[in-house]
Amino acid sequence: MNSFTHPLGRARRFVLRCRHHSKLDGALGEGNVAHTAMSGNGTTAGDDPLQTAVWRLRSRACWADAAALLQPVTAPAALQRAALLVERCLYTEQGWAEAEDALRTAEALAHSDDERGAAACERGQLAYASTLHGVRDRADEARAALGRAAALIAPGARGRALLDFRRGLLAENLAQAPQAARAAYRRAHAGATAHSDPLLLSFTWRHLAGLALREGELAEARHGFAESLRIREELGYLVGTAPALVSLADA
């Protein structure tokens, strides 16, 4: 994967296997490309078996297989399916048409403000990924979509933390505005803490650490990378564990 900055150092190449080989180049580990995952909490004994299966596939980089388990007949299922396929684009730079189709289905099924806001947030993320990877410059679309999401998702709502994080990505990697990015990441971190979203916390820790590293704050950077790694290991988020180890070792 390509990026406009390399704040966390160059990540290694990783190859993960599921139904198909997925070559996760460069910033599988968010070093070369500041991507975000969807929110998530891992699994517990009381979880829905379907969601447990989706999580396990997703955490192993099998996004298409995870998406295939979801029938897009309701807004929540369609949104989750679209988010998985958008995430695949970020990691693999493949599957753009499938992600676009899934997103259109989710947008058509979304009725409440929260659902429409979540769909707009995914629209912004897909446009961001397209811009970052040089597929097509959709920076204006990304900003507009995240702006729509901000108007629809109430402050303090669960989805607001993910939105704030993604606005931080645009600030850091498209606008080259690290101070604005830090403020957005901190809002996302507070929201993820309030809503007990550990996976998103692993991303906010990681990106705040990356900014600290760029400024020479090594102790703060190492602490953030260590927290990100700890959370990912606890959740079993395999696709993010190896690159988290790399960042901690390089800090």
Contact 25, 237 (CB under 8 A): no
Helix (H) or strand (E) holding 244: helix 238-250
Give me the chain's average pLDDT, please. 86
Q: What is the mean pLDDT of residues 205-213?
A: 97
Position 210 pLDDT exceeds 60: yes
Pick from 246, 237, 155: nearest CA to 209: 246
d(CA 36, CA 248): 18
Question: What pLDDT does residue 47 have?
Answer: 72
Contact 3, 232 (CB under 8 A): no
> What residues contact residue 40 under an 8 Å CB cut-off, 6+ apart?
55, 58, 197, 198, 199, 200, 235, 237
Helix axis angle for 178-194 and 158-173, nearest 10°, is 160
Q: What is the mean pLDDT of residues 125-132?
A: 98
Read off the pLDDT of residues 140-184 as tens digits, 9 standing for 90 and up.
Answer: 999 999 999 999 999 999 999 999 999 999 999 999 999 999 999
CATH superfamily of the domain spanning 14-250 = Tetratricopeptide repeat domain (1.25.40.10)
Q: Cβ of 232: how many Cβ atoms within 10 Å?
A: 26
- The pTM score is 0.84
Residue type, 206: R
- Distances 86 to 91, 133, 197, 248 between C-alpha atoms, Å: 9, 13, 20, 27
Q: Where residue 89 falls among pLDDT bands split at 50, 70, 90?
A: very high
Q: Where residue 9 falls among pLDDT bands split at 50, 70, 90?
A: very low
> What residues contact residue 19 under an 8 Å CB cut-off, 6+ apart?
62, 64, 65
Domain segments of the chain as ranges: 14-250
Tokens 């901690």 belong to: 248
DSSP 161-224: HHHHHHHHHHHHHTS--HHHHHHHHHHHHHHHHHTT-HHHHHHHHHHHHHHHHHTT-HHHHHHH
